[in-house]
Amino acid sequence: MAALSPLVDRDQERTELQQLAREPGPHLAILYGRRQVGKTYLLGRTWPDARVFYFLAADTPAELNRRDLLRELAAWSKRDLNPDDYPTWRTVFRIFVEMAVEAPLVVILDEFQYLLGGPDDAASQLVAVWDREAAGRPLTLVLCGSEVSAMEHLLAGGQPLYGRASWSARLHVFDYRDAARMLPWCSAREAALYYGIFGGTPRYLVAARPDATLTDNVVRTVLSPRGEIHLQLLSLIEQEKGIRTPREFRAVLAAIAAGRSELNDIAQEAALGGQPHVVRRILQILEDLEIVGRERNFAASAKAPYRYYLVDNAVAFWHRFVVPNRSRLSTGDAGEVWNNVVEPYLNDWMGNVFERMVAQAYTRFHRRWGVSGARSWASWVGQDRNGRDIQVDVVSRLDDGTMLTGEIKWSSQPRGFELHNDLTRDLDDLGRSGQAWAREAQRGHFLYVSAAGFSERFRDWAATQADVVLVTLDDLFVD
């Protein structure tokens, strides 16, 4: 058997798809997710020894896609397939059913969304063949697509394919730990920095060269106008089918990257102040694409405004450091932009990134840390009754009903008792200000995370406290 190429965080999907093809058919599978998350890579490494036909649809009329598919199928199968003899998608799907009689067959139709719509809609035509002619045939048909809304729509009630899929999955970008597995030569700190700049998109991470420094990789792939990640991020919004006003989407992203987090502030910064409904729609689309996220203070009312933030670190880095310096990058030295504009602010940049990393790590490692799973995970930003600004990095209700609060610091020096003293003071002031959760949190668990570790005295003290957990950057990267 041919060796399968290594996969990161996709083993479960591969195993399930392999099992699907081994069972009596037919089977319809639907795989979708944002561009560059590794859908095609996964499918190309799932059936190394099976009879597999793969077709990549293009953003062209369905008629041209049908003819291209038939030409490729003819070359693959060594059959004489004249496109004129197969004038509809229904006739094409019948070919797959007939070929499955000879031997088990896997058919992958990638970017399937381009085959939808019009009088010869591929999904509608497939149903007619699937229900009447495919029964008992060892055919596994995989519909794969990067337009998330269109692919999810296939599974919705009332749609032609509703109830017919044997398997479906959405692939997501990697979290910080799986991103690091694509960079095995990196230290924990380097892996965190890569994640803070490249994000969790596999296609971006694979662009990093192990024989180059972090600086060289970022300058070459992200900052340079000729870099592969630069070019992909440059047209990120235009790549999403159905977005008709890319300038407005880019303006909203830039506003969030500039620190605007609430709807009205984002609208004003994006020069869409009179159109909050437009901004709300844009934010919803970006949230569906997993580019933007939203959060509220812990225990906030359902009417409290959301705070929006950029989930995708690469998109955030792009709008924070690349977009404002496009002219310099186009006419000057990208290395100079790194030295003067990026590197001096990198530790500040990593503060929010590190907080997201810890949220991901808690899901993975909370048992190892000796605390219950999190029923909710949030922060709290505001003022006490005296007008003092307070930010609590972690406020969580745990599965066992207790509270967890904590501080997360992307620091260059070990931290000490000031973390615990400051947090307990903040909780006391918030409790006196009417925040009931803060009074309860004083009797709960405390989580302190420091990228540079902790002082010896603080570690010794914490070891005697059953409700205090200390976590370092290295702890986030254990296997």
CATH number at residue 452: 3.40.1350.10
Q: Is the pLDDT of residue 399 over 60?
A: yes
Residues 399 and 427 in one domain: yes
Element spanning 230, H or E: helix 228-234
Residues 316, 314: Cα–Cα separation, whole Å: 5
Three-state secondary-structure class, residue 385: coil
The last residue of a domain, from among 106, 139, 170: 170
How much is the pLDDT for 1?
A: 34
Report if residue 358 sits inside a domain: no
The model's confidence at residue 447, banded by pLDDT at 50, 70 and 90, is very high
Residue 129 domain boundaries: 11-170
What residue type is 40 in one-letter code?
A: T
Residues 416, 461: Cα–Cα separation, whole Å: 10
If one counts the domains in the chain, the total is 3
pLDDT per residue over 93-129, tens digit each? 999 999 999 999 999 999 999 999 888 999 999 999 9
Residues 340 and 196 in one domain: yes
How much is the pLDDT for 6?
A: 66
H-helix segments, 270-345: 276-288, 313-317, 326-331, 334-337
Rounded to an integer, the average pLDDT of 10-34 is: 94
Rounded to an integer, the average pLDDT of 299-306 is: 93
Per-chain mean pLDDT for the chain: 94
Residues 197 and 293 in one domain: yes
Angle of CA points 368, 370, 371, to nearest 5°: 115
Q: Which residues pair with 449 in a beta bridge?
A: 408, 471
Report if residue 421 sits inside a domain: yes
Domain of 50, CATH number, reads 3.40.50.300
- Is the overall model pTM greater than 0.85, yes or no? yes
The model's confidence at residue 5, banded by pLDDT at 50, 70 and 90, is very low
Buried b or exposed e, range 203-234, using 16+ CB within 10 angstroms: bbbebbeeeeebeebbbbbbbbeebebbebbe
pLDDT per residue over 308-330, tens digit each? 999 999 999 999 999 999 999 99
Element spanning 214, H or E: helix 214-218
Report if residue 3 sits inside a domain: no
pLDDT per residue over 263-291, tens digit each? 999 999 999 988 889 999 999 999 999 99
Compute the radius of gyration of the chain from its Cα atoms: 26
Report if residue 1 sits inside a domain: no
- Max CA pair span of the chain: 82
Report if residue 166 sits inside a domain: yes
Residues 307 and 186 in one domain: yes
Three-state secondary-structure class, residue 379: strand
Residues 232 and 153 in one domain: no
Report if residue 122 sits inside a domain: yes
- Are 262 and 308 in contact by the 8 Å Cβ rule? The answer is yes
Domain of 334, CATH number, reads 1.10.10.10
Query: Virtual CA dihedral for 256, 259, 262, 265, nearest 10 degrees?
Result: -90
Residues 141 and 204 in one domain: no
Residues 416, 454: Cα–Cα separation, whole Å: 6
Residues 330 and 202 in one domain: yes
Q: Is the pLDDT of residue 140 over 70?
A: yes
Three-state secondary-structure class, residue 378: strand
Residues 37 and 153 in one domain: yes
Report if residue 5 sits inside a domain: no
Residues 294 and 149 in one domain: no
The last residue of a domain, from among 104, 135, 170: 170
